Amino acid sequence: MRLLVDVGNTAIKAVLYNQGCYKPCELNALPWPQINDMVFACVGSTELLAPLIKLAEQHKVTVYEAKVSAKLENLKCAYEHFTNLGIDRWLALIAAYVELPKQHCIVVDAGTATTIDVLNSEGEHLGGWILPGLDLMTTSLTQNTQKVFDDGQTPFAAELGRNTPNGLKNGALVATVGAIEQAKRHLNNENSCLLFAGGYGKLLAEQFAESEFDSQLVFKGLNYWLELTLKQ
């Protein structure tokens, strides 16, 4: 059994991987005697992780930290300074590379920020964009303008707005959808897989006829990162 850990800015999420299954778990109730190794990715403070690493060491569990590299197997990072690419973006790309082999793919992770990354069928990461997330788009407008407001109840929808709250919410959604459509042009509009993750990933996936939402995408990337790294 493998423990997969994603360390954010304010919280830690964990999943147990065993025989092809990914199962979310609580950190205060881990089956340590059954865990063989632990893989973590950290975008926040490592202080949040310290107690967990200490427990792993006490139970003689091997610990690995996932890192961005210029190349992993045939997957190539677009960034010249590859360490500047966020580890969550790299892990999502790894998951797409493994699960959708030899296919053009656009990977979207929609959280506080929305990241869009383009991967071609040769495993070459062509680059990507970082956009404000849907909530950040709307709050930046309500906080920095006098007459734009949100009522806290209006949902996001790809429709023309007929009042200020849905004009605000829908504008944020269609702006993000437009960026994803623009990403397709960097694959010459050839058939590409659209793969979504993150809190607003499902909503965005629903805006496209052929797409896939995977809530475990980053955790799958963690698992594949270790498997591919150990093969090298």
108 contacts 213 by C-beta, under 8 angstroms: no
Q: From residue 210, give the alpha-carbon distance in Å to each of 33, 120, 190.
A: 42, 17, 14
In degrees rounded to 5, what are phi and psi of residue 62? Answer: -70, 135
Choose, from 88, 109, 117, 214, the residue flagged as catalytic: 88
Q: Which of 104, 109, 105, 76 is nearest to 92 (CA)?
A: 109
Q: What strand order describes the sheet that includes 62-65?
A: 21-24, 12-18, 2-7, 37-42, 62-65
> 116 exposed, middle or buried (CB, 10 Å; 0-12, 13-18, 19+)?
buried
Interaxial angle between packed helices 217-231 and 87-99, expressed in degrees from 0 to 180 and rounded to the nearest 10: 80
The token pair that represents 193 in the structure block:
């897989």
Known catalytic membership, residue 151: no
- Tell me which residues are annotated as active site: 88
